[in-house]
């Protein structure tokens, strides 16, 4: 039973960053009262995204402290509002990177609230009532039913949590750009939290997948663990030359600064390079290879509510989950330090319910 105040606000407990040191510590706070369109979740698991690290340390210059991070949330529904139609008490629901939007723009009307100019982040943002949103490194969450998705109880919940961010981040551009046809050749740059999930979805679509990495040591895992068809070392000029013009599209998941010019050469005519990472420095690219090959560079930040639900259902059907290392809440600072060093295979997930 969740404790609450006389005005209906819900008492909550989590781990929060207090300043840009990014160090998290125990934090008591309150959630808003469960409204007519809201559901309340007892949080079971929460994945750790690289964005959490950036926000905890104010790398984007927009962090609001104290801050409870976490936007890969899976929990059990413990309360539903009077107008809730999509959930019942006892259901398992997931929440990703957004918990609100304007509800009236063209993006919202199509369900793509993630692209709404007034989109509200799951944490470190101002909600409609002026309060600061707090994320999933905590014991509960109150959220509008339209910003949650139903999780089949048959899915392993810990390894499903990262799909709420990493999963939809790779699934949405594949769908949007028509990259779901069997036999298409997809390059996946980076075999990390996003990349390993991209390989799984692409293989489930029946695509030919080549993992592109700077680390030759990842070849065995790419081919044997995740089922990629080929592995290309991006620093090997001979391998790059042999693969020129062979890929229908490339998903680039890397956020570190890197040149995308060699990737453009790997694309077939009319090929698409889709950027999912956000390097800090501006990207420089020669125009002529794009013009002469009618090639495209695109970006993607996620998908809409129906698409997230579709992704979850597809993942359940094809047994797709993230490869995770489950940790306790007290380990979270060590996990963030390890994440900064890319020392995780392939996503940390906090066992909130059993360790908070």
CATH number of the domain to which 246 belongs: 3.40.50.720
- The CATH number that applies at residue 150 is 3.90.180.10
Q: Among 283, 299, 315, give the residue marking a domain's end.
A: 299
How many residues are there in the chain? Answer: 356
The verdict on 203 and 268 lying in the same domain is yes
pTM for the model: 0.94
312 assigned to some structural domain: no
Rounded CA gap, 209 and 262, in Å? 18
DSSP-derived 3-state class of residue 57: coil
The verdict on 130 and 35 lying in the same domain is yes
The verdict on 203 and 110 lying in the same domain is no
4 assigned to some structural domain: no
Residue 263: how many CB atoms within 10 A of its CB? 22
Burial 311-334 (b: 16+ CB within 10 A, else e): bbebbbeeebbbbbbbbebebbee
The verdict on 159 and 31 lying in the same domain is yes
Do 83 and 37 touch, CB atoms closer than 8 A? yes
pLDDT for residue 304: 87
310 assigned to some structural domain: no
- Any idea what the Cα angle at residue 39 is, between residues 333 and 9, rounded to 5°? 75
pLDDT for residue 240: 96
pLDDT for residue 1: 44
The verdict on 30 and 160 lying in the same domain is yes
45 assigned to some structural domain: yes
Do 295 and 274 touch, CB atoms closer than 8 A? no
The verdict on 19 and 153 lying in the same domain is yes
Write phi, then psi, for 73 (nearest 5 degrees).
-110, 130
The verdict on 149 and 36 lying in the same domain is yes
218 assigned to some structural domain: yes
Rounded CA gap, 291 and 132, in Å? 46
The verdict on 94 and 233 lying in the same domain is no
Strand partners, 40: 79, 142
Give Cβ neighbours of residue 187 (< 8 Å, ≥ 6 apart): 209, 210, 211, 212, 232, 247, 249, 250, 251, 263, 266
Write phi, then psi, for 315 (nearest 5 degrees).
-65, -40
Question: Domain range for residue 201?
Answer: 167-299
The verdict on 115 and 156 lying in the same domain is yes
The verdict on 136 and 255 lying in the same domain is no
> For 334, which DSSP code?
H
**Which position has the token pair 């740059």?**
189
What stretches of 267-318 show up as alpha helix (H) in DSSP? Answer: 288-293, 305-318
User: From first to last of its 356 residues, what are the pLDDT tens digits of the chain?
Assistant: 455 555 789 999 999 999 999 999 999 999 999 999 999 999 999 999 999 999 999 998 999 999 999 999 999 999 999 999 999 999 999 999 999 999 999 999 998 999 999 999 999 999 999 999 999 999 999 999 999 999 999 999 999 999 999 999 999 999 999 999 999 999 999 999 999 999 999 999 999 999 999 999 999 999 999 999 999 999 999 999 999 999 999 999 998 889 999 999 999 999 999 999 887 788 999 999 999 999 999 999 999 889 999 999 999 999 999 999 999 999 999 999 999 998 999 999 999 999 99
64 assigned to some structural domain: yes
pLDDT for residue 256: 84
What is the count of structural domains for the chain? 2
Give Cβ neighbours of residue 124 (< 8 Å, ≥ 6 apart): 55, 62, 63, 64, 67, 69, 132, 133, 135
Cα–Cα nearest to 183, from 209, 160, 161, 163: 209
Cα–Cα nearest to 3, from 56, 58, 40, 53: 40
Give Cβ neighbours of residue 265 (< 8 Å, ≥ 6 apart): 240, 244, 245, 289
The verdict on 114 and 18 lying in the same domain is yes
The verdict on 156 and 253 lying in the same domain is no
């Amino acid at each position: 039973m969740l404790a609450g105040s006389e005005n209906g606000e819900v008492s909550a407990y989590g781990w929060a960053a207090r300043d840009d040191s990014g160090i998290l510590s125990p934090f008591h706070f309150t959630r808003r009262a469960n409204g007519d369109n809201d559901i309340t979740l007892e949080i079971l698991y929460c994945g750790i995204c690289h964005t959490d690290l950036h926000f905890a340390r104010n790398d984007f210059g927009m962090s609001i402290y104290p801050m409870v991070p976490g936007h890969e949330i899976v929990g059990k529904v413990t309360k539903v509002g009077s107008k809730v139609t999509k959930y019942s008490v006892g259901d398992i629901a997931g929440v990703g990177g957004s918990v609100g939007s304007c509800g009236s723009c063209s993006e919202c009307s199509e369900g793509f609230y993630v692209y709404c100019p007034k989109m509200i982040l799951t944490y470190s943002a101002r909600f409609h009532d002026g309060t600061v949103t707090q994320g999933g490194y905590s014991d509960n969450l109150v959220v509008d039913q339209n910003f949650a998705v139903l999780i089949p109880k048959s899915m392993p919940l810990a390894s499903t949590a990262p799909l709420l961010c990493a999963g939809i981040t790779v699934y949405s551009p594949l769908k949007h750009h028509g990259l779901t046809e069997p036999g298409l050749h997809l390059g996946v740059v980076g075999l990390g939290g996003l990349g390993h999930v991209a390989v799984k979805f692409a293989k489930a679509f029946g695509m030919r997948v080549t993992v592109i990495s700077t680390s030759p040591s990842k070849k065995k895992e790419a081919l044997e663990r995740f089922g990629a068809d080929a592995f290309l070392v991006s620093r090997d000029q001979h391998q790059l030359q042999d693969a020129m013009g062979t890929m229908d599209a490339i998903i680039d998941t890397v956020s570190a600064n890197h040149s995308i010019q060699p990737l453009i050469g790997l694309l077939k005519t009319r090929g698409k390079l889709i950027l999912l990472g956000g390097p800090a420095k501006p990207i420089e690219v020669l125009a002529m290879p794009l013009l002469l090959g009618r090639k495209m560079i695109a970006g993607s930040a996620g998908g809409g509510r129906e698409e997230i639900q579709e992704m979850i259902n597809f993942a359940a059907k094809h047994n797709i989950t993230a490869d995770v290392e489950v940790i306790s809440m007290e380990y979270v600072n060590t996990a963030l330090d390890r994440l900064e060093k890319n020392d995780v295979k392939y996503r940390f997930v906090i066992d909130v319910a059993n360790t908070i």
